[in-house]
Structure 1
């Protein structure tokens, strides 16, 4: 039998990706919170506070997800906590005005999204062989990115049809509910297709120390920095577009279109390349896209081009470093490394919007873009530094021979 034969059926994995897409719509709709809260008299700082409330609950989600997986099974754990995504989306739509209730629904969002985002890659890691992980991680993250990008587009469609922005949150809640039901049904099939037990999903201080003292710490740091870039730009894209008299849907169309097409057309090629070189090139592309947002974008075409560059750079970088963290983790700590990878991502994507909203309100959008550029530059320098260090070590090894 060919080693290229996938150990999991295309139909099963396709249904899993469909469920992932549907659940991701609920998180994608949160990029409309700035618009929703603005319509109720709030500002970007208020929106950032709601989004960042999710960061607190994701810590609990990441720590508990391994125990939940051992107790209930990974897919059913995601399904149960996916119900919180449904409740959060409905809560954002139904809560009048501002106030602490929105923060509560932000916490629910963090719990639901945290369990899903953490256990999703662990499910994939158990279904495929190590050499296939980067490819299947790319397919999973592509499904999630598509759902995330589709969330804000629901708001644009609702607006075009004369409905309020809350309609997008209602639709996201319905989609997430369908995803929950689908995952619940898939649980037994995913367990049967698993190549390895997920009973080592629990995180511990010993495993954490092992992972963070290994080379896996670099992709873990990078995903957190990338999360800051993505969270900062996406959460306040409605404000950025309004300041430049642009249509925010162009950003999400460009981003999502590029993320999907790059995974369909070139992800298979990219994941077979040297991961350090690939991540360096792609994180450089992401940096270039943010420079465009800050210095070049002034019409619809340049807006779409910058968003598409971000979609390719950020989307494929994530896929590469997701596979890298799994394969660079010490033996027996793959699940724990993926948990820490998710935790770092959440710190960036949920934590940074609080600072980003404050920067916009007090210093303006231009200063936020400068901050995001600095973060993206640091992200790129990590990969460049690793490449240079590897080259130096390789040269020294050859000289000793």
Structure 2
């Protein structure tokens, strides 16, 4: 009888412990307004990378350069972002993330205003590089959200912030296309600078300070990135696969405005930006991939995402055999598909990478995104060259091949014992 009572007491204690843990988890969650602030900050900062894309045709005409030369604008922006993640993101483990976010926000405002006042290709390119470097504040905001959230609900909080980031990427094209056509392209960058300034004030008031997690020197932090790449096969495969998907993603978006500006469409920047609405459908659906990754595993989601991306770009290869109106429908359908595929795969890759080493989450995230944005920079350059040489079919063919290569990487079996 005593054993029954003992068992009952143990169960009661266990249940009480679970209830306490649950209450603690709820208590440690960042407030809904703070999560919304972080999601908005991530979205606005990363949007700075993409404002130029729908108006490249207008930019080329206004500055007086060729379509090939103006293609270096998104290339340098993406390259700057990759360099910023590599050289600056690891500092989040060494210094107060709140201070880093605020410093980058101030510098991003300056870079955006420099972009707005550019009158030559050289100034435009330097400002583009600076925007890429400082827009990495988004990659400080996401780890900040993960740190504020209790482990039991970290995925939900990070997923919400990532949704804001993805929406910033896609809706930036809609907004910039409209603003550029109605008020001029310079107005868009002034408006973007104002948005970053306002979000910086809100973050200054609402975001708490963070305690550094390491005392490693800057050189040691950078060296640890290479060590992580050497030791973890899962990290290498995630960075490579996401980089390959990013090549096609960036190649498409960096050339779409130029393609639509030419025959047979003769469409302005607003039309190119409107395709961001189709991409936003994919971004909104992408959080479902996180739920599927929890239930069936992130490995499956990476394969499904890469496969959907390849099929979506392959559909666009059929465009030359259809009239212009049907071509636009194919573009819209393909855009929804490949954006969903790319964003779903990214969320799954983050799930894989964050599980490798909890103590190095910022640096693991840096490696993943460096691979991704190197792919984006390469895709922007290659896409512009292919469009000039082979037309739109060259761009979509490249994107199809890189998506298939990413799918092959995901099916490639790691050696036994690789972590």
Which one of the candidate residues 355, 366, 373 is aligned to 1:327? 355
Measured in 1, the distance between the counterparts of 2:241 and 2:58 equals: 31
Find the counterpart in structure 2 of residue 107 from structure 1: 129
Find the counterpart in structure 1 of residue 199 from structure 2: 179
Change (3 A) 1:199 1:137: farther
SS of 1:346's partner is helix
Structure 2: runs of 5 or more not aligned: 1-18
Contact 2:50 2:169 in 1 (8 A): yes
Find the counterpart in structure 1 of residue 244 from structure 2: 225
Deviations along 1:212-269, one digit per CA (max 9) or x if unpaired, are: 3312211121222222222211122212333452632332110013312443x56434
Measured in 2, the distance between the counterparts of 1:201 and 1:291 equals: 47
Contact 1:211 1:333 in 2 (8 A): no
**By how many angstroms is 1:134 displaced?**
4.4
Find the counterpart in structure 1 of residue 104 from structure 2: 81
Measured in 2, the distance between the counterparts of 1:31 and 1:80 equals: 26
**By how many angstroms is 1:270 displaced?**
4.1
Change (3 A) 1:42 1:185: same
Change (3 A) 1:260 1:201: farther
TM-score by length of 2: 0.80
Contact 1:28 1:151 in 2 (8 A): yes
More moved, 312-321 vs 242-251: 242-251
Q: Tell me whether 1:357 sits opposite 2:384 in the alignment.
A: yes
Which one of the candidate residues 227, 246, 251 is aligned to 1:209? 227
Change (3 A) 1:323 1:200: farther
SS of 2:29's partner is coil
Contact 2:80 2:130 in 1 (8 A): no
TM-score by length of 1: 0.84
Measured in 1, the distance between the counterparts of 2:240 and 2:104 equals: 26
Find the counterpart in structure 2 of residue 317 from structure 1: 345
Change (3 A) 1:135 1:42: farther
Q: Tell me whether 1:163 sits opposite 2:183 in the alignment.
A: yes
Deviations along 1:111-152, one digit per CA (max 9) or x if unpaired, are: 1123x2432332233233556554443322211121122222
How do 1:383-394 and structure 2 match up within 5 A? 383-386=410-413
**By how many angstroms is 1:361 displaced?**
2.1
Which one of the candidate residues 59, 69, 73 is aligned to 1:46? 69
Change (3 A) 1:313 1:271: farther
Which one of the candidate residues 352, 355, 369 is aligned to 2:396? 369
Which one of the candidate residues 262, 274, 284 is aligned to 1:260? 284
Deviations along 1:2-27, one digit per CA (max 9) or x if unpaired, are: 65747333332222112222223322
SS of 1:28's partner is coil
Change (3 A) 1:68 1:283: closer
Measured in 1, the distance between the counterparts of 2:242 and 2:100 equals: 24
More moved, 179-188 vs 140-149: 179-188
Q: Tell me whether 1:289 sits opposite 2:305 in the alignment.
A: no
Find the counterpart in structure 1 of residue 3 from structure 2: none
Structure 1: runs of 5 or more not aligned: 395-401
Measured in 1, the distance between the counterparts of 2:297 and 2:203 equals: 34
SS of 1:276's partner is helix
**By how many angstroms is 1:291 displaced?**
1.3
Choose 1 or 2 for highest CA Rg: 2
**By how many angstroms is 1:68 displaced?**
6.0
Find the counterpart in structure 2 of residue 236 from structure 1: 255
Deviations along 1:182-232, one digit per CA (max 9) or x if unpaired, are: 2222332x63xx8x9366796232452233331221112122222222221
Measured in 2, the distance between the counterparts of 1:11 and 1:143 equals: 13
Measured in 1, the distance between the counterparts of 2:294 and 2:402 equals: 24
Contact 2:228 2:364 in 1 (8 A): no
Q: What value does the CA root-mean-square deviation take over the aligned residues?
A: 2.9
